[in-house]
Amino acid sequence: MTIKLYDLCAADRDVRFSPYCWIVKFALLHKGLDFEIEPLNFIEKQKYPDPDYGKLPILVDDGEVICDSPVIVAHLEKKYPARPLVATDGERAFANFLTAWLGASVYPSLAPITFVQVHKILDDETKKYFRETREKRFGKTLEEVGSDPAASAQLEKAFGVLGAALGSRQFLGGASANLCDYIAVSPLIWRRIVTPEPACNLPAPVDAWMVRMLDLFDGYARNAKRGRPA
């Protein structure tokens, strides 16, 4: 069995920051599966297993090419049913809710202020691509996109909701982490890897949960290499 994850990297190929790739890495670790990582940057699309898809993560499992993190997770659940990522329909529904909540409440504020930091850790050629594509998307410079004074307050409000969901629980999955935790922590790991600057003040339950998430799997996320301006 050969599993290879194509993971998004910075100028330093050991710095791998994509939140969606992190969901897949956590899923593979949760399943106890051995995997190799092939780091590629934004402009190496010709090296992607599916260049037409043009995004990462992509998983190649015994020659089968699977694109998009939710599809990869579903593949892993079906092919490797031991150590399920979600044990019930309710947990699966909660994972789907968290994906939608992050898309509506967290990423719209976190992504713009983090793009500037991502740009700093890319090589020169990739910086040019990243700036051009993001500035075309937003219709303004990266610096203008990342200067929203309300972003931190909006993020604190959003993570307050997550804090309420955690309450006194160790994990969103209960006594142990599951897919819900991996989905929810991925944007925080993204931010942590690309910059030492916190995006906002986290509520105490979220801050304590983040520490536990970083400690999982022998500190896999905690030990992940962090970016420095290229």
* CATH number of the domain within which 47 lies: 3.40.30.10
Among candidate residues 20, 45, 79, the one where a domain is terminated: 79
User: Does one domain contain both 120 and 204?
Assistant: yes
* 32 and 108 part of one domain: no
pLDDT of residue 174: 94
In a domain, 55, yes or no: yes
Cβ–Cβ under 8 Å, residues 16 and 8: yes
Tens digit of each residue's pLDDT (9 = 90 or more) over 85-95: 999 999 999 99
Confidence tier at 228 by pLDDT (50, 70, 90): very high
Q: What whole-number distance in Å separates Cα of residue 155 and Cα of residue 166?
A: 16
pLDDT of residue 1: 65
Instruction: Give dist(CA 19, CA 189) in Å, integer.
Output: 7
Are 51 and 118 within one domain? no
- 63 shares a domain with 13: yes
> Do residue 53 and residue 96 come from a single domain?
no
Gap between the Cα atoms of 120 and 15, Å rounded? 12
| Radius of gyration in angstroms for the set of CA atoms belonging to the chain, rounded to a whole number | 17
- Based on the domain organization, do 59 and 155 belong to the same domain? no
* % of the chain at pLDDT higher than 90: 96
Does residue 227 belong to any structural domain of this protein?
no
Average pLDDT, stretch 144-148? 92
pLDDT of residue 168: 87
On whether both 93 and 168 belong to a single domain, the answer is yes
Indicate whether 163 pLDDT > 70.
yes
Domain membership of residue 106 (yes or no) is: yes
Whether 228 is in a domain gets the answer no
Range of the domain at 199: 89-219
Q: Is residue 226 part of a domain?
A: no
Q: Are residues 125 and 165 in the same domain?
A: yes
**Domain identity same for 67 and 119:** no
Residue 124 has pLDDT above 80, yes or no: yes
| CA nearest to 8, candidates 111, 118, 87 | 118
Residue 84 falls inside a structural domain: no
Asked if residue 57 has a cis previous peptide bond (ω within 30° of 0), the answer is yes
What are 169-201's pLDDT values in tens digits? Answer: 999 999 999 999 999 999 999 999 999 999 999
Give the C-alpha separation, 127 to 168, whole Å.
Answer: 42
- Its pTM stands at 0.97
Is residue 65 located within the same domain as residue 115? no
State the Cα–Cα distance between residues 192 and 194, nearest whole angstrom: 6
Residues whose CB is less than 8 angstroms from the CB of residue 126 and which lie 6 or more positions away in sequence, other chains included: 11, 41, 42, 43
Give the residue from 52, 79, 106 where a domain finishes. 79
Last residue of a domain, one of 60, 79, 98: 79
How large a percentage of the chain has pLDDT more than 70? Answer: 100
Q: What is the CATH number of the domain that holds 155?
A: 1.20.1050.10
Q: What is residue 230's predicted lDDT score, i.e. its pLDDT?
A: 77
Is 100 among the domain residues?
A: yes
Number of domains present in the structure of the chain: 2
Could you tell me if 72 and 117 lie in one domain? Answer: no
Note whether 17 and 111 are within 8 A (CB). no
CA dihedral 206, 209, 214, 218 (to 10 degrees): 180
Torsion angles phi and psi, residue 6, rounded to 5: -90, 115
Residue with tokens 């150590």: 83
Q: What are the tens digits of pLDDT across the range 38-94?
A: 999 999 999 999 999 999 999 999 999 999 999 999 999 999 999 999 999 999 999
Evaluate whether residue 122 is within a structural domain.
yes
Residues 171 and 112 in one domain: yes
Spatial separation of the C-alpha atoms in residues 36 and 102, rounded to whole Å: 28
Comparing C-alpha atoms, which of 190, 187, 186 is closest to residue 17? Answer: 190
Half-sphere exposure of 129 (CA within 13 A, CB side): 11
